[in-house]
Amino acid sequence: MHIALLQHAAFEHAGILRDFMYEDRISFDIVALDEGDPLPDLDPYDALIVLGGPMGPLDYDDHPWLINETALIREAVVERALPTLGICLGHQLLALALGGSLSEMKKTEAGVTEIAFNEAGKRDPLFQGLASKAPSFQWHEWQVEEPPPGAVPLASSALCPVQAIRAAPRAWGVQFHIEASNGTLDEWLTPVGHEDELQTILGPNARTTLSDQAAIHMPRLNADARRMFNNFIQLAQMPAKAIEN
């Protein structure tokens, strides 16, 4: 299997998903869009993963490549039926690419928060093996306001009603960061201004607060991520018609 990963910032990389791919001997190419890498030809790939990033999904002035990236995601899902997984920003871009709408949240969601799967989410094969409620690692100011036509909402949190969608038989978006690992927080807070921003959300002890949360929940977060990744790879290897509900 050969996977394309669309990356929007070096500090917001594929994290523990890279470890899973190395362990499973899955080949992958990182497309660093923020560093000027051209969008890939999708012909060589068996799946597409769209990662998160610090920019807004509609920030075309500073990141004009977002327009073409969104078009590429639509090509992957609609024209090619390519197995696709969007994470955080990738979740939002997937929804946008297929005709959904986005909005800025009234309150930024950050930290370890609980998500709950609805009945469709409990049945969805991407989340097979997960409990009906689970911790999630979050930091986002934008959300999917209206899922695309035909998409199925799968999960929610207290602040964000659309935490996951199934956008096509083999295309999913998750608002939460399944790629998070023990080093994620330090990497996220390295760029100038990021720790100050987190403090406005979680208070003056934001780093300690989130670090403590992560230490408690990371084993569960990583175990759930492994299940979701295994499920995604298994689903990516099946014909789309075989997994339609």
Task: List the catalytic residue out of 8, 13, 177, 217.
Answer: 177
Find, among 107, 110, 109, 75, the residue nearest to 94 by Cα: 75
- Give the separation between CA 155 and CA 175, rounded to whole angstroms: 9
Domain count, the chain: 1
DSSP annotation of 163 reads: S
Question: Distance (Å, rounded) from C-alpha 235 to C-alpha 81?
Answer: 12
Over residues 225-234, the mean pLDDT reads 98
177 catalytic per annotation: yes
**Tens-place pLDDT, residues 70-112:** 999 999 999 999 999 999 999 999 999 999 999 999 999 999 9
Which is the catalytic residue, given 88, 91, 109, 160?
A: 88
What is the model's pLDDT at position 240? 66
Residue 242 pLDDT exceeds 70: no
Q: What are the tens digits of pLDDT across the range 161-207?
A: 999 999 999 999 999 999 999 999 999 999 999 999 999 999 999 99
User: Residue 144 has which token pair?
Assistant: 């999917």
Average pLDDT, the chain: 95
160 catalytic? Reply is no
> 180 is in which domain, residue-wise?
2-243
Place of tokens 């390519």: 82
CATH of the domain at 167: 3.40.50.880
Catalytic-role residue among 69, 91, 179, 217: 179
The pTM for the full model equals: 0.95
Percent of the chain with pLDDT over 90: 95
| H helix intervals, 35-191 | 65-74, 89-97, 119-123, 184-188
- pLDDT-derived band at 239, boundaries 50, 70, 90: confident
Given this model, what pLDDT does residue 238 score? 83
Amino acid letter at 56?
G
pLDDT in tens, 100-159: 999 999 999 999 999 999 999 999 999 999 999 999 999 999 999 999 999 999 999 999
Known catalytic membership, residue 187: no
Distance between CA atoms of residues 100 and 97, nearest Å: 7
Phi, psi of 106 (to 5 degrees): -70, -30
